[in-house]
Amino acid sequence: MTSGPTRRTVLQGGVAAGLAVAATAAAGPFGAAPAGAATATGTNRIRPFRVAVPGTELTALRHRAGATRWPARELVADRSQGVQLATSRALVKYWTTRYDWRRFETKLNALPQFTTEIDGVDIHFVHVRSPHKDALPLLVTHGWPGSIVEFLDATGPLTNPTAHGGRASDAFHLVIPSIPGFGFSGQPTEIGWDTTRIAKAWIELMRRLGYSRYVAQGGDVGAGVTDALGRLAPSGLTGIHLNLLLAALGGVKFPTGTAEEQAAAAAVTAFGTTGNAYLLEQSTRPETIGYALSDSPAALAAWLLDHDTDSYLKISRTFQGGAAAGNLTRDHVLDNISLYWLTRTGVSAARVYWESFQAQLAGAGATPPPVKVPVGFSAFPGEIFQAPRSWVAAVYPTLNYYNQPVRGGHFAAWEEPSLFTDELRAAFRYLR
């Protein structure tokens, strides 16, 4: 019996892949270029961007979601058969009656947004420069089923620490790109974008922005991109920070001599046996699930929610009247889901796993170069597994910072922006 692809084989070596785009030159999908924005004549230009979703799209979304044909209720009392019907119904009810996309659109447009074409792909990104002159440039990469939404509420604390209980010496200039195929970046029109190619695009982005020295951070898909950056070792990169240890999810054998290591190993096994349905589908047949993701808002929402037990339970509780887990409020969750729906990126984002798996197969047996820059790692307790320091150090011998925050899960920056900010300040402080 052959085994399916593991999360590591899907993510390592090609995490944020499958992404080349054909978006409009002066503005992305549903985006409007402000007066005076650069035209398409210079492909290397950085062009201002604003979000402008037509009202007809919002009306159509509410209509489609309201007309959902619901499946029969699950036959178990937990999530072992998937996203629970009560959760989906509550989410769609709130989405169609109370959620306000314009609130989020205003929030996005209050931030400096841009697009630029790199390697034939139109890349959307948020770029917030700190008011503090000695700020350290920081490149952060989101994952799936997330987006740049994950980092928005950490933007203020990261770039202007003195306004958020920090010191001027903690400041970052912040660059938040949307992975091709996600959000307002263009969608792929050809195959071949793996983690390394994404990382090379990010290197070019930082060069265009004039940053000769910077650090990088990522979780989930973003952890693969950031890992690739570390292995490419561009001259300007001085350190990386991660909050997911991808190597542990792909069959690599780590020590299990301590209680902490045993708990991590058990969590990895549980994910591989009962928690990775989305990974198997997206890494082998993304187009098939893409029909549902493109046609049904309820299907898209359920698919995005069914990622990991910790985040699902927190989000499910919130939609059914419970207290929000940190920043994972109903509105914030629907900001992310609506972004996928309105940009029609359900399938293009799903293909990142297929592309990554193909890249892994093509490079089977090859030994990647080591990460030589300093590495920081934060093991949040609600992650798929909480990586022990011993495991992280085995993958990254240059590990320079390790901590286990008291709260937070897979969407660490999104759920706990203050704790996430503290982690980055601590991890990169010695590099300033």
- Give the integer Cα–Cα distance in Å for 317 and 296: 23
Only one residue has tokens 């990469």, namely 141
Q: Is residue 178 part of a domain?
A: yes
Q: Is residue 1 part of a domain?
A: no
Q: Are 241 and 216 in contact (CB under 8 A)?
A: yes
Cα distance between residue 171 and residue 157, in whole Å: 8
Q: How far is CA 56 from CA 63, 167, 299, 341, in A?
A: 10, 45, 21, 13
Q: What are phi and psi of 230, to 5 degrees?
A: -60, -35
| Residue 292 structure tokens | 């549902």
The pTM (predicted TM-score) of the whole model is 0.91
Low pLDDT (below 50) residues in the chain: 1-29, 32-41
CATH code, domain carrying 69: 3.40.50.1820
Question: What's the pLDDT score for residue 251?
Answer: 76
The pLDDT value recorded for residue 364 is 77
Domain span including residue 213? 7-431
13 in the Ramachandran plot: left (φ > 0), alpha (ψ -120 to 50) or beta? left
Does a structural domain hold residue 324? yes
Q: What is the pLDDT of residues 315-336, one digit of tens each?
A: 999 999 999 999 999 999 999 9
pLDDT of residue 195: 83
Q: Is residue 330 part of a domain?
A: yes
Residue 42 is predicted with a pLDDT of: 63
What's the rounded Cα separation, in Å, for the pair 280 and 273?
Answer: 11
Number of Cβ within a 10 Å radius of residue 200: 16
Between strands 375-378 and 399-403, the pairing is parallel
Residues 99-135: pLDDT tens digits?
Answer: 999 999 999 999 999 999 999 999 999 999 999 999 9
- What backbone phi and psi angles, to 5 degrees, belong to 325? -85, 100
The predicted pLDDT at position 30 comes to 56
Judge whether 2 lies within some domain. Answer: no
Q: Any idea what DSSP says for residue 151?
A: G
What are the residues facing 215 on neighbouring strands? 138, 239
Query: Is residue 159 situated within a structural domain?
Result: yes
Q: Which of 135, 119, 234, 137 shows the shortest CA–CA distance to 176? A: 137
Kindly state whether residue 44 falls inside one of the protein's structural domains.
yes
Q: Distance between CA 240 and CA 213 in Å, rounded?
A: 12
Note whether 148 and 183 are within 8 A (CB): yes
Q: CA-CA distance, 420 to 411, in Å (whole number)? A: 10
Residues with Cβ within 8 Å of 3's Cβ and at least 6 positions away in sequence, in order, are none
* Domain count along the chain: 1
Per the CB < 8 A criterion, the answer to whether 283 and 38 are in contact is no
**Site of tokens 């029969």:** 72
Q: Is 324 helix (H, G, I), strand (E, B) or coil?
A: coil
Residue 363: per-residue pLDDT: 84
* Residue 162 DSSP code: G
Please indicate, yes or no, if residue 95 is contained in any of the structural domains.
yes
